[in-house]
Amino acid sequence: MAREAAARQMLFALRREVARIEGTLAERLALPPAVAGGGSLIRHSGIVHDVSPDFIPTGVPRLDERLNGGLPGAALTEIHGAGMRAIGAVTGFVLALASLALQRNASGGPLFWIGTEDGFHEGGIPYAPALLKDYGIAPERFILSRTRKIEDALWVAGETAKLKAVSVLVIEIRGNPARVDLTATRRLQRRAAHTGRPVFLVRQSAEAEPTAAPVRLLLASAPAGLRRTISGPLAGSIGPPAFQVRIDKNRNGLPGQFLLEWNPQTHSFHERPEGHAAENNGIVVSPSRHGPDHAPAAGALMAFGETEDGSPRGEPAGEQYTAHRGARRAG
């Protein structure tokens, strides 16, 4: 029996190695409740597989499930922004992922952010105080590389991707330059797999192209949540940032769409539940027709399709609406 288990383990290790060389994720595995604590997973056929170093769990169960346990920790991940205006959201989301990766990485290596001069001119430079406050990334762990030409940026990226000492690598590229093609992404993907470290390729206002990255996410910004105070959410305030994430490509998982909120205090993601939509102004999908209508206080609504007084789902009840319609501004 023991011998059989050892043989299976070896077989599985080989399979993983093949998967790593091919640049694919290891086979999808379901997590049985019994072994959840041990950090290893058992497949249907009963093969033990240690999953921990290969994934960065986002902390959102539904998203992790779609991604087979989290974002690949040793691969290239492409993150597309919906147009140039989403650059804030994309940056925030990538930094959040980097923060999660850095939390998991005990070696204390730096975050290397590579971009071109015109990209930083267009979108601004990552600002160190916010990195520290909202994402827990100390300025000492942040290295910025700015080059004039895209070729140079790719060279820097390629060289940096070889280093094991760099914990997270972010490459920011605008548009669809010819140099960033399948070959380039393949190179990055292979190096990321070899060094066992995530590489995020941020594409600003780019079309989706063939890519070697196993996962491609599409990002759009979403209205922020409300600030939480002791007496419930503070109406009209701009709280934790929210992101609309769509899984655009997922080699062994399923596509899906999610609305995530980043908690700057605990440095973790959580999914905004459906019922809380009202709390967040109700304009998650499309903007409100009435302009800055402010959300009612928490607890006034139930997270069900129909409220007791029959108002449509996701919108405040009539009396509540009038009660809170007066403009209120924080500060």
The window from 26-34, 194-202, 286-294, 318-326 that contacts another protein (CB under 8 A) reads 286-294
Query: Alpha-carbon distance 109 to 241, whole Å?
Result: 26
Q: Which of 287, 318, 319, 323 binds another protein (CB under 8 A)?
A: 287
Read off the tokens for 204: 């600003």
**108 lines the binding site for another protein (CB under 8 A):** yes
**131 lines the binding site for another protein (CB under 8 A):** yes
Q: Which of 7, 21, 35, 238 binds another protein (CB under 8 A)?
A: 238
**101 lines the binding site for another protein (CB under 8 A):** no
Read off the tokens for 267: 């440095």
**130 lines the binding site for another protein (CB under 8 A):** yes
**88 lines the binding site for another protein (CB under 8 A):** yes
Matching residue, tokens 């007066």: 326
Is the sign of the CA dihedral 261, 98, 187, 207 positive or negative?
positive
| β-sheet bridge partners, residue 171 | 114, 201
**95 lines the binding site for another protein (CB under 8 A):** yes
Asked whether 182 and 216 are in contact (CB, 8 A), the reply is: no
Query: Alpha-carbon distance 201 to 168, whole Å?
Result: 11
DSSP per-residue codes, 32-45:
-GGGGGGTEEE-TT
Asked whether 153 and 147 are in contact (CB, 8 A), the reply is: yes
**282 lines the binding site for another protein (CB under 8 A):** no
Q: Which of 5, 127, 254, 306 binds another protein (CB under 8 A)?
A: 127
Read off the tokens for 176: 């669809």
Residue placing its CB nearer to another protein in the complex, 37 or 331:
331
Residue placing its CB nearer to another protein in the complex, 129 or 310:
129
The candidate with the shortest Cα–Cα distance to 156, out of 184, 198, 182, 181, is 184
Residue placing its CB nearer to another protein in the complex, 156 or 247:
156
Size of the site for another protein (CB under 8 A): 70
**265 lines the binding site for another protein (CB under 8 A):** yes
Residue placing its CB nearer to another protein in the complex, 64 or 172:
172
Name the 3-class secondary structure at 65.
helix
Read off the tokens for 69: 């346990």
The footprint of another protein (CB under 8 A) covers 85-89, 91-93, 95-96, 107-110, 120-121, 123-134, 136, 139-140, 142-148, 152, 155-156, 159-160, 163-166, 220-224, 236-238, 241-243, 262, 265, 281, 283, 287-288, 291-292, 294, 329-331
